[in-house]
Structure 1
């Protein structure tokens, strides 16, 4: 526990109340959209690190499947999305048994592991496995399976040791898992998911989802931390590895804080712009609606619709909002809101994205009206 390690832990924890304040300052719809975007970024980044092909659209579609409670087997990455959404919603727990680790692996890698790379032991792999740089072997996983069981049992045990700071436990557990390499394929994705789970015990749930994108940007340093720790001259000292990982976590926290702060600023600017439109003596003409047409236009109703769609423009990958969500924002029935949305559609402010379910988003004219251009 060097002064450098202590200072890094203090730095990471100092971000927590600031991140929490920015998060609490976002409206509910913005939080949900932002959480979805974080899950997309996290899964996309962890896949890229392992050179697994995936697109943001695929992951976004998987989120829709999970949210609609459709069978997860019908969509690629749906199970992985469910796991990360559970972290963001503070509903996931770290593994407590070896069977829990295997269950996490199965969920994270579902549909992505070739038959010849599937685990062939009781829980993990029976045979040896090596990682190569393309030129030489850089790491050999623990072998046989009984040794894998012992290593992961140690990982679980130290994870419950309250005499060790939680952040250190999480980072050391990540090293033990990756060093053990219990599977033929999928260790990296599973290990980073388990790290996010462990970090959730000490960081805000959504904060633990900010890691993989930062790891991807520091991939060389991330892998070098492992190789330096395994160097025989290092004699098993994990302190340098710990420092590298804590610095990466601190960077992830700093990025998250800056991003949340910027997005909160955008929401406040959006709210101010809508207020200006509603208080203008030309309303509703200034938003492209005449005063005589039915149904009648109420400023607060139109304001809530535009505010919700503006949040989606900033936060949601598809920038679209369901009819029922807009009705909830207005506090009226969907039957009440639908004809008013039709008037906004006729005015060119919004457009229909899908019909089943009915979803809307701002048009280019709507974006310009709310002064979101270039955002």
Structure 2
């Protein structure tokens, strides 16, 4: 049975005492044994979420799918794993930017990732202008892969915001308080209707963010529920003039990172972008007066998005796992005209073709994989290029990819 909102039940009730019935039902839901109560009071009452059967079942489905995803993920060789992580980070940053109307290409994010990974790198001139806006955001997601911890105080949220918005925020939208905004924010639709007004004062923003952090750390609240409710609360507070969306989605990923696998967490922004109408509508449902600050529908929406992300990840991993197994067999069946080093390079390049964002192999990557010097790796790559199995994407630095001949040789599309 579909879980009905209090507002829907109120309008379906045609009796003369529907207001009293509504109030009783709100009280019943709020005080039920299975209800998650936050103790955080918003405009229309205490923020809470019930745990109906359909959400309990959804939570269990998610955890079961996570086991399948983790098994597939952990079975990948390290080259495929590294390429997959990089590709997922690219997608996550691009789609999170897209949700906020910030245009970024995968090539730009790739350049930002390279810069973020190299602490000694210094961008200058045109390169700096093109890539700097995304370096800190890319670095955040690299830290997410490494297991970053959730914010412990409101100051940590400000630091995340600064990293997320560096180089892309209009100067007039910079926070003008000690940490957050001082002025009001009003969210309107295209017709000028007010959809949401953020919390009014900086002290209240700091207070609610502190309570949000406490809620995220509570051990008596299921982690998926806590992450979902905290995500709603962050966007409700709206602590900044701009950049709340990207900051909030990163905080959501950070919270879920302790429960869900990397590929699931790194697929959420794309899934949200593909379902943004339902995503934005769910915020509005919680804020409607008759719903009394019940976040159950919002939690249900987040769980549904997580499942959609999981399904996409599972489908992709199953398909690529089959390709990888076929590739291994094809490599083993190559005749003696191929040296062991040539086979190793083809296996590396084919993994990059299957799992990488651009299907490209760098000289650094190949030499590291083979554990040989760059000149040695370069000579081996040149032989495969001359034979038509690889082609150059660039000469300096040397970057290659599989040719159609090479793909046919290994039975790949």
Same fold (TM over 0.5): yes
Distance in 2, matches of 1:114 and 1:249, equals 32
Q: Contact conserved, 1:313 with 1:319, CA < 8 A, in 2?
A: yes
Shift of residue 72 of structure 1? 7.3
Partner of 2:31: none
Shift of residue 230 of structure 1? 0.6
User: Aligned pair 1:45/2:95, yes or no?
Assistant: yes
2:227 to 170, 175, 199: 170
Partner of 1:348: 388
Partner of 1:235: 292
Per-residue CA deviations over 1:284-340 (Å, capped at 9, x if unaligned) read 2xxxxxxxxxxxx52x21111001000111122232222232233334333333322
Distance in 2, matches of 1:205 and 1:15, equals 13
Partner of 2:18: none
Distance in 1, matches of 2:71 and 2:341, equals 28
Shift of residue 71 of structure 1? 4.2
Map residues 1-375 of structure 1 onto 2, 5 A cutoff.
1-69=51-119, 70-71=121-122, 74=128, 75=131, 76-90=133-147, 92-135=148-191, 136-278=193-335, 283-284=336-337, 298=339, 300-373=340-413
Shift of residue 354 of structure 1? 2.9
The RMSD of aligned alpha carbons is 1.6
Shift of residue 52 of structure 1? 1.4
SS at match of 2:221: coil
- Unaligned segments of structure 1, at least 5 residues: 285-296
Distance in 1, matches of 2:59 and 2:122, equals 41
SS at match of 2:267: helix
SS at match of 1:62: helix
Q: Contact conserved, 1:46 with 1:216, CA < 8 A, in 2?
A: yes
Distance in 2, matches of 1:245 and 1:339, equals 51
TM-score where L is the length of structure 1: 0.91
Distance in 2, matches of 1:5 and 1:317, equals 35
Q: Specify whether residues 206 and 87 from structure 1 end up closer, same or farther in structure 2 by C-alpha distance, changes over 3 A only.
A: farther
Distance in 1, matches of 2:108 and 2:151, equals 28
Distance in 2, matches of 1:360 and 1:352, equals 4
Distance in 2, matches of 1:329 and 1:311, equals 12
Per-residue CA deviations over 1:273-294 (Å, capped at 9, x if unaligned) read 222223xxxx42xxxxxxxxxx
Distance in 1, matches of 2:322 and 2:117, equals 28
Distance in 2, matches of 1:72 and 1:43, equals 20
Shift of residue 141 of structure 1? 0.4
Shift of residue 200 of structure 1? 0.5
Per-residue CA deviations over 1:217-276 (Å, capped at 9, x if unaligned) read 111111111101111111111111111111111211221122111111111111122222
- Tell me which stretches of 4 or more aligned residues in structure 1 moved more than 4 Å: none
Partner of 1:294: none
SS at match of 2:382: helix
Number of residue equivalences: 355
Distance in 2, matches of 1:12 and 1:173, equals 19
Distance in 1, matches of 2:182 and 2:371, equals 58
Q: Contact conserved, 1:72 with 1:79, CA < 8 A, in 2?
A: no
